[in-house]
Amino acid sequence: MRPLRKSLYFLLFAISFFVCSDNDVKEREKIEQITTSQAYKDFISQQESYKDFFPFKLDIRWTYEIIVKNQPLFYHIESWPLGDNVFSYDIRGTYTKEKKTYLLIFEVEKTAAKQGPLEYPQGVKLSVIKDELGIFKYAKEVYWAINTYSRNAAHVVITYPPHMPGAPVQNVRGGYYIQLLFFIAKPGSVLSLGEDELLFVGLEPFQDQLALHFKRTVSSGEDKGYIQHSFIEDSWYQKGKGLVYLEQKVDDITTMIFRLKDLKKGDVQ
């Protein structure tokens, strides 16, 4: 029986090897097709302009239409420093049940050497002019923090006052949360924090221009209920504009769309 058993093991190994090899070949062919495309070559040759897909100059104001089609969800990790410790909590919820269009308008107010708890090489403080949906509800300050030493990773940092609803009673320093928005790496790269994962899909045409496509995936929570559902957000960034479009889906149903309505450069006053 031993020779037969060895033969079976070898046969199973050979089958799995060829299956894996075939998958590897297909994956390599797919990667080669992407990396040999002219669009990708142009993208690689312009590495210095990567940051232009996430502009943060002082003279830019963004106006977004937020179209609510169902109950859009939110998720972030809220952190509260207490003494020498930092207590963090998963926060989940829904923005609204009302299906309508909302406006979000913000601009870069000034540069910021420190962005809440972060001190990244480049940072700016944002001024929120109109927030009809409450994206930045309860926020004390809003920053963009860009780590130019690591993939040009751009984060939004929101700080909270000490007595915000839900804050620990004994807190006297305030809280914050940090969310990754954008980074530069090879297509297929993923960065994650807790239940929050951001995939860089790659460079692709979007609305007649090339755009960087990201896919955010938030895993489902431990409890039952709608706000515990997993959700996906696809976002596209264009050179000189930043975020131009975002679509959130829950169970493959579109719940919310961000659409860049207006972009002003120069004197925005």
Same domain, 21 and 139: no
Can you tell me the mean pLDDT for 16-36? 54
106-163 tens-digit pLDDT: 999 999 999 999 999 999 999 999 999 999 999 999 999 999 888 889 999 999 998 8
Q: Are residues 69 and 131 in the same domain?
A: yes
94 pLDDT exceeds 60? yes
Same-domain status, 62 and 22: no
Closest to 214 measured CA to CA, from 203, 222, 227, 228: 203
Total number of domains in the chain: 2
Q: Are 203 and 37 in contact (CB under 8 A)?
A: no
Specify if 76 maps to a domain: yes
Q: With a threshold of 0.85, does the pTM exceed it?
A: no
Instruction: Give the mean model confidence (pLDDT) for residues 55-72.
Output: 94
Q: Clarify whether residues 123 and 13 are in a common domain.
A: no
Do 112 and 227 reside in the same domain of the chain? yes
Give percent of the chain above pLDDT 90: 60
Could you tell me if 99 and 208 lie in one domain? yes
Flag whether 42 is in a domain: no
Question: What pLDDT is stored for residue 20 in this prediction?
Answer: 42
The pLDDT assigned to 23 comes to 55
Check whether 9 has a pLDDT greater than 60: no
Same domain, 23 and 128: no
Same domain, residue pair 30 and 80: no
Listed range (82-96, 121-135, 236-250) with the worst mean pLDDT: 82-96
Assigned domain for 248 exists: yes
Are β-strands 141-147 and 190-193 bridged in parallel, bridged antiparallel, or unpaired? unpaired
User: Are 263 and 75 within 8 A, CB to CB?
Assistant: no
Cα distances (angstroms) measured from residue 181 to each of 1, 155, 191, 246, 263: 59, 5, 10, 11, 19
pLDDT higher than threshold 60 for residue 18: no
DSSP 3-state percent helix, strand, coil across the chain (nearest 5): 20, 50, 30
Find the domain containing 241 and state its range.
Answer: 52-265
Nearest to 96 by CA among 64, 70, 124: 70
**Radius of gyration for the alpha carbons in the chain, expressed in angstroms and rounded:** 22
Is residue 138 situated within a structural domain? yes
pLDDT tens for 32-47 read 665 566 665 655 555 5
Residue 13 has pLDDT above 50, yes or no: no
Would you place residue 228 in the very low, low, confident or very high pLDDT band (cuts 50, 70, 90)? Answer: very high
Specify whether 119 is located in the same domain as 30.
Answer: no
Residue 47 lies in a domain: no
Pair (127, 187) in one structural domain = yes
Please report whether residue 237 resides in a domain.
yes
Residues 13 and 62 in one domain: no
Kind and range of the H or E run holding 159: strand 153-160
CATH number of the domain where residue 155 is located: 2.40.360
Tell me the average pLDDT of the chain: 84
Q: Is the pLDDT of residue 12 over 60?
A: no
- pLDDT tops 70 at residue 88: yes
Domain-located, residue 41: no
Say if residue 147 is in the same domain as residue 255.
yes
Pick from 90, 53, 65, 75: nearest CA to 232: 75
Q: Does 23 fall in a domain?
A: yes
